[in-house]
Amino acid sequence: MNEDRLEALEILAAEQEKMIEELSAQFAHQWAAIDRLQKRLDALTERFLALEERAAPDTPVTKPPHW
């Protein structure tokens, strides 16, 4: 009886170890994807801001005539 319980626990531990390894690999893959997307977002943000600066007219700041 004890041998059966020990074998069942060993099987359970092996299955859990495999699951942890799979989850860790998936986490690493997703982290790499997030990092890649963040770099892309940063580059696009810089590009957008540069385009916005070029497109914005240089309007001088003046007081309205009624002031």
Whether 8 is covered by a domain: the verdict is: no
Give the tokens for residue 32.
Answer: 């790499």
**Residue 1 has what pLDDT?**
81
Q: How far is CA 13 from the centre of its chain?
A: 31
Say what the pTM is.
Answer: 0.62
Domain membership of residue 49 as a residue range: 24-56
Domain count along the chain: 1
Whether 46 is covered by a domain: the verdict is: yes
Residue 63 has pLDDT above 80, yes or no: no
Give pLDDT tens digits for 25-35. Answer: 999 999 999 99
Q: How many CB atoms lie within 10 A of CB 2?
A: 6
